[in-house]
Amino acid sequence: MTNVPELFGSMVFNDQKMKERLPRATYKALKKTIQNGEPLDLSVANAVANAMKDWAVEMGCTHYTHWFQPMTGVTAEKHDSFICPDGDEVIMEFSGKELIKGEPDASSFPSGGIRATFEARGYTTWDPTSPAFIRDATLYIPTAFCSYTGEVLDKKTPLLRSMEKLSSVAVRMLHLLGKEDVTRVTTTVGPEQEYFLIDKKMYDARPDLIYTGRTLFGAPAPKGQELEDHYFGSIKTRVAAFMKDLDEELWKLGVLAKTKHNEVAPSQHELAPIFSTSNIATDHNELTMEVMKKTAEKHGLVCLLHEKPFAGVNGSGKHNNWSISTNTGENLLDPGKNPEDNLQFQLLLAAVVKAVHEYQDLLRITVASAGNDHRLGANEAPPAIISMYLGDDLGALVEAIINGKEYRSKDKSDMRTGVDVLPDFKKDNSDRNRTSPFAFTGNKFEFRALGSSLNIGCPNYMLNTMVAQELSEFYDALEGADDLEAALKALIRKTFTEHKNIIFNGDNYSAEWVEEAARRGLCNYRSLPEAMAHYVDQKNIDLFVNNGIVSEAEIRARYEIELEHYAKQLRIEALTMIDMAEKNITPAVSAFVGELTQTALAKKSLSSAVSVYTETALVEELSTKLEAFVKKTAELSEAVAKAEHFEGDNLALASYYRETVFALMGELRELGDAMEKKTAAKYWPYPSYGEILFGV
């Protein structure tokens, strides 16, 4: 039996270990940095580095690494050993300087043109607010990453800055409201992570999965998710063994893995942790994804984190549960028993409503990716239109405020199960609206449009920044008011009135909503290039620059990186399809047609009375399809070649890939899948959807 409390955090240089191993004064100084963001001096860093190293070496480590989150979308690490020559021998050493600063060559990380290759130097800086941990005999130190000239090149720095910013404006606001004891406000996040788990043998036989993370061909299996028997279904033995192992690995790393279950699609699952502060939640989510992949390997499985690995069944997303709480332990998004009397809550709610309305484009942009383009708006995930769901109770309260009416919130009603042996319980005031991209769920907001592979740092720094911006504006409006309560009420009413168009409690998947949203003037950006074009709109640049999150040059760099990355991904997908088509699918179908022809000829020579109807019909059908398929493959090749005309203009390049190349890929796939349905299994070069999705 695993002793979970003992296991938990055993691989983390956590608070308890720091307390045990650091001199008291050092420990106190470090805590001040972690809790209040105070600068750290080198003598403290030296003591911490030494204690970390001693612990790591005791645990069998030989190396350390600065672990960072560049713009590639995956984490990066470079390993250095602790060895230091001492005469003929070596000793294990690690200095404060090495802890604080690393110097990876930055030239091969995306910088969106910010940095010339000859200025290759980049720096990683220790993030003391996220604890170091051990994996594979290596001490991992969470760090931020910037260029030699100081430009931010990662996803962590803006997040840390946005947390600071939101804290300072929220504290100022709370002081104005009379909460003088609050000194710090933090955002908390609990990301629910979806993933697929398939057999490694199936994966290895599919170049599309290997190169792109998704299947580019594949006729549907006779069974998909229509019986709804997989969601919350009993977990298969092999998957359960994986999940047990995964939980243990994550617990060792201090990740609060809590809930696991089967998801809607066959072979699809979910893991949800207990929430933590945004930056730790971000690091932990990155770790979770990496540990998922590694643990799957040990079980002869592959974990797919792509947003849409299989056509025809649900793709994978991530729900970003987000809230704000004070150092005095108050959740600022908790409406309490009587939200109608809770002006502080109403003000916070108004800030979020206004933020989501004014920056709906940014929220859409932050979840845009080549993978997520397959989900948003495809009747399984929230639509590409960003709107908010507040639930019946809060929705009615907001309505009453707008209309200047009295409102009394309903008490939670008793739920009668009608079976005596089952306990009755209090029913929640709002049902869940599963179709809403941004839903209020009791004491937090759930942003549901994230793709499964996304680094949650980005949506969270945007969310924090936009809410900080609104709170600053509110502060300016309220500061110096003669009658604060009256001013507050007027501001709340004005804000809800002006921004009620973002609130929508109905079915987000319906066609009527698309029309209604257009009437309301809400954005509906269906693809990454369409959305990304607005990244650099002046109001968005102002938001980040005025709040000190990233500079204009850095935003423009991020914009270029995203577009370029998208174009590259689509190019890889197109090239993989062409490769599969030319090297395997075309020869396979041709061989099958050859065999059918031989059979027909042999039958004919045996006796003219033998029917060759089957062979003839199939040969005719497949030959026609194959011709179309071969022509379409050539067309796709030409389209990819033509992309070079757009080099130098990343928006035009990405749009070209979306509009021309992606469309042709869809047509080629249709032809390929139609042939798969008619080709003998022994001739088809790749495992089928049935074998992959129901094989574990």
User: How far is CA 622 from each of CA 518, 584, 662, 682, rounded to the nearest angstrom?
Assistant: 45, 15, 25, 16
- Which of 96, 122, 190, 382 touches ligand ADP by CB under 6 A? 190
188 near ligand ADP (CB under 6 A): yes
Can you tell me the distance from the alpha carbon of 158 to that of 456, in angstroms, rounded to the nearest whole number?
12
The answer to the question of residue 62 lying near ligand ADP (CB under 6 A) is no
User: Which residue, judged by CB position, is nearest to Mg ion in the bound state?
Assistant: 319
Give the one entry of ligand ADP, Mg ion, none that residue 272 binds, where binding means its C-beta sits below a cut-off of 5 to 8 angstroms depending on kind. ligand ADP
- Among 11, 76, 189, 394, which residue interacts with ligand ADP (rule: CB under 6 A)? 189
Q: Does 319 bind ligand ADP (CB under 6 A)?
A: yes
Site membership for ligand ADP, residue 389 (CB under 6 A):
no
Residues 6+ apart with CB under 8 A from 157: 144, 145, 146
206 binds, among ligand ADP, Mg ion, none (CB under 5 to 8 A by kind): none
Q: How far apart are CA 224 and CA 694, in angstroms?
A: 9
376 vs 639, beta carbon nearer Mg ion: 376
Piece in contact with ligand ADP (CB under 6 A), picked from 160-168, 214-222, 320-328, 664-672: 320-328
In angstroms, give the least distance from the CB of 288 to ligand ADP. 12
Pairing mode of beta strands 388-389, 438-440: parallel
The least distance separating ligand ADP from the CB of residue 163, rounded to whole angstroms, comes to: 14
Of the chain, the end-to-end C-alpha distance in Å amounts to 26
- How many Å is the Cα radius of gyration of the chain? 28
Tell me if 458 contacts ligand ADP by CB under 6 A.
no
Contact pattern from residue 392 through residue 431 relative to ligand ADP, giving x for each residue in contact according to CB under 6 A and a dash for the rest = ----------------------------------------
| DSSP 8-state symbol, 374 | G
CB 368 within 8 A of CB 658: no
Query: Sign of the CA dihedral 348, 354, 357, 361?
Result: negative
What is the bridge-based pairing of β-strands 83-86 and 101-102? unpaired
Residue among 477, 502, 472, 471 at smallest CA distance from 489: 477
The residue (of 110 and 335) whose beta carbon lies closer to ligand ADP is 335
Among 238-246, 270-278, 480-488, 545-553, the segment contacting ligand ADP (CB under 6 A):
270-278
DSSP 125: E
444 sits near ligand ADP (criterion: CB under 6 A): yes
- 321 counts as binding ligand ADP under rule CB under 6 A: yes
**Cβ of residue 676: shortest distance to ligand ADP, in angstroms?**
36
Please name the helix (run of DSSP H) or strand (run of DSSP E) that holds residue 318, with its range, or none: strand 317-326
Phi first, then psi: what are they for 272, rounded to 5°?
Answer: -125, 135
Using the minimum distance from each CB to Mg ion, give the nearer residue, 319 or 658.
Answer: 319
Contacts (CB under 6 A) with ligand ADP, residues 322-361: 322-323, 331
Closest CA to 82 of 105, 103, 99: 99
Q: Does 438 bind ligand ADP (CB under 6 A)?
A: no
Q: Is 10 in the site for ligand ADP (CB under 6 A)?
A: no
Q: Minimum distance from CB of 227 to ligand ADP (Å)? A: 21
Q: Compute CA 615 distance to the chain's CA centroid, rounded to the nearest angstrom.
A: 49
Count of positions on this chain that bind Mg ion (CB under 5 A) = 2
- What is the spatial distance between Cα 131 and Cα 431, in angstroms, rounded to a whole number? 38
> Which residue's CB is nearer to Mg ion, number 192 or number 676?
192
460 binds ligand ADP (CB under 6 A): no
Q: Tell me how far apart the alpha carbons of residues 190 and 275 are, in angstroms, rounded to a whole number.
A: 4
Contact between 543 and 465 under an 8 Å Cβ cutoff? The reply is yes
In the stretch 318-337, what mask flags binding to Mg ion with x, by CB under 5 A? -x------------------
Residues of span 171-230 touching Mg ion by CB under 5 A: 192
Binders of ligand ADP in range 274-293 (CB under 6 A): 274-275
Taking CB within 5 to 8 Å according to partner kind, which of ligand ADP, Mg ion, none is near residue 445? none
- Least distance to ligand ADP, CB of residue 202, Å: 29
- Kindly state the smallest distance separating residue 434's Cβ from Mg ion, in Å: 9
| 81 contact choice in ligand ADP, Mg ion, none (CB below 5 to 8 Å, kind-dependent) | none
Q: Closest by alpha carbon to 460, among 308, 283, 274, 254? A: 283
Under the binding rule (CB under 6 A), the answer on residue 590 touching ligand ADP is no
Give the pairing type, strands 445-451 and 388-389: unpaired
Within 8 A by CB and 6+ apart from 43, the residues are 26, 96
Closest CA to 211 of 569, 619, 504: 569
What is the binding site for ligand ADP (CB under 6 A)?
188-190, 192, 259, 272-275, 319, 321-323, 331, 443-444
